[in-house]
Chain A
Amino acid sequence: MRKRTKLLLALGAVAGVAAWLAVTTEPSDWRYPKLLLTQLPKMPFRYFV
């Protein structure tokens, strides 16, 4: 698989997680989504480690 395809897949997965969080999270449980949201920009890079 080409690196560009992999990166697109990684970004897609991250976007999917973000959408999932937005749909499933209740306002009272904000800390875990906040933790994940702060980590989201780092996840595509972690995919290559």
Chain B
Amino acid sequence: MILGGGKGIPMPDYDVVVIGAGVGGLTAAALCQKAGMKTLVLEQSDRVGGCCSTFETPEGFKFDVGASVVEVTRAFEELFRRLELPREKYIPLIQVDPIYDYCDNTRGVRFAYPTSVEDTARVIAEFSPEDARAFLKFAEDYAPKIRELVDNFFYAPSLGFMDTLRLIARYPGMLTVLPMFVTTHQKVVARYFKHQDVLASMAFQSFYAGLPPDMCAGLYAVVGLLEHEGIFYPEGGMIRIPAGIQQAFHDLGGETRLGARVVRVMVENRRAVGVELWDGTEITARNVIGAINAKKLYMDMIGREHIPWHVWRGVTSLVLSMPCPMIYLGVDYEPPLRAHHTLTLTDPRAMNDYWSDYYLKGKLYEKEGRIEVMGLISWASKVDPSLAPPGKHVLTHMGLAPYNLAGNDWDRFKERYIDLAIETVERYIIPDLSEHVVYRDMATPKDLERMLLHPGGAVYGIQTDLSHMAVFRPANRSKCIRNLYLAGASTHPGGGVPAVVAGGIITGGLVVKDNA
């Protein structure tokens, strides 16, 4: 079958079919629809957003599935500027301040970083004047560079070396940032800071890349500075972001089908011609956008027979990012927290050891003979009280744990893991937490894989090190299947809500340009 609508040739059902109603897929879909292309988004679950979503329990608690906050809101502004629609109407955002709290009750250490760089330096000065001065220097050295890098790198396609050269020609400052890709997070941070608690408070961002500080690209050390431009939470929960983009897409005439699971991308002569659903329905399209994990797209939905051997070898070599098990707790009081985010157990040495001595061996972190759960607590109902029944609150714990547990299984271990996480939080942050928990549940890495179809429960898609970045990350336009495009965390520029929106902008732009 050849599509195109010529004499005797069947017209395709759609100009564009998008697999997956995550933030990246919806962004690309909205841009295609805006350009006048008849676009359909197919989502296997009953709600949009994937990891950036919110669900409600029968008890009236609303929990965010994964993503818990957004920074770099310029990505949203850019999207809605291109859609010529008001962002505030579709995605109302509330600023969150302070950015995050660092707490270790066992040592009586607690401090929170405000949005303002100067105020953050004042907080650090209370226990380390030397590091406070270093923080101001750190921000002065890197804040403008990282802002410029994001503004250029985020929205530029990275399909090949020519794109890299074009980017450098347009933005020569890129050359001064390149060493940040080669050096490590730990080296960058250690160059400025000496105090153990400052180092610990800045180490967590490395796990956004799915790697510990001594193995993570130095770029991630300065990404934290972007949070000082302001971090935001959408009214009504994180689902408001994909729901807002979906609403814009619908207002432009687009169509979404929920509960429509795609099992195969139809390929003829190395050209994507549509998709097949789980019930055998075939939907033809001029272009297909796979807004799902790139490994799953190529290996499960397209298959070896359509992919040249060298591309297949590249696909199979991609390393998935670290899974982030999510614990959802409803509590019957206002928890004694001070910020939207609170970090637990982020000592850089422990995080480095965790990777090699525990994570890679399928174990959970142990300290002084007991299992402790590293992670980050998000207190969304502080910002938006409508997420919990009156007098109650929602807490979400994002942890770090292996997909395969040595000698155990996540389905059997789930309840014990929740207990261990609560015990850890009680020890370091909220002493009486277990007495106030009235609702508890968890999404294990296996659950995330089943619910979201993320292989390995990898919510950040593909690991983000130099060997998986830019031209070495799955391209937004497929290099082996014509009319096939990719969006989402596993493609350029990477994981995290703003990056996925930026990737969707790149993908949507490529589809529109190629079909102009």
Contact = CB atoms under 8 A, between A and B. Distances in A.
Interface of A: 1, 6, 9-10, 13, 17, 20-21, 24, 29, 31-32, 35-36, 39-40, 42-43, 45-49
A40 B186 contact: no
Contacts of A36: 465-467
Which 5 pairs across A and B sit closest by C-beta, in order of nearness? A39-B467, A45-B314, A42-B317, A49-B314, A46-B314
A29 B310 CA distance: 32
Q: For chain B, what secondary structure do more than half of its interface residues adopt (helix, strand, loop), or is it mixed?
A: helix
A49 B318 contact: yes
A36 B472 CA distance: 12
Interface stretch (B413-421, B474-482, B498-506): B474-482
Contacts, number: 80
Contacts of B352: 31
Interface in B214-237: 214-217
Interface string B290-317: 0000100010000000001011011101
B338 to A, nearest CB: 34
Interface stretch (B120-128, B177-185, B280-288): B177-185
B101 to A, nearest CB: 29
A48 B314 contact: yes
A46 B294 contact: no
A39 B311 contact: no
A31 B62 CA distance: 41
Interface string B450-472: 00000000000000011110011
Interface string B352-388: 1000100000000000000000000000000000000
Pick from B186, B217, B471 the residue with the most CB of A within 10 Å. B471
A35 B285 CA distance: 41
Interface of B: 160-162, 179, 182-184, 186-187, 211, 214-217, 294, 298, 308, 310-311, 313-315, 317-319, 352, 356, 465-468, 471-475, 479-480
Given A17-B466, A40-B467, A46 B214 contact: no
A31 B214 contact: yes
A35 B311 CA distance: 22
Nearest to A3: B310
B184 A29 contact: yes
Contacts of A24: 179, 182-183
B314 A9 contact: no
B482 to A, nearest CB: 14
A8 to B, nearest CB: 11
A32 B184 contact: yes
Given A17-B182, A24-B183, A36-B467, A45 B214 contact: no
Pick from A1, A9, A36, A42 the residue with the most CB of B within 10 Å. A42
15 contacts: A6-B160, A10-B161, A17-B182, A32-B215, A32-B217, A35-B215, A39-B466, A42-B314, A42-B467, A45-B310, A45-B311, A46-B317, A48-B310, A49-B298, A49-B311
A21 B184 CA distance: 11
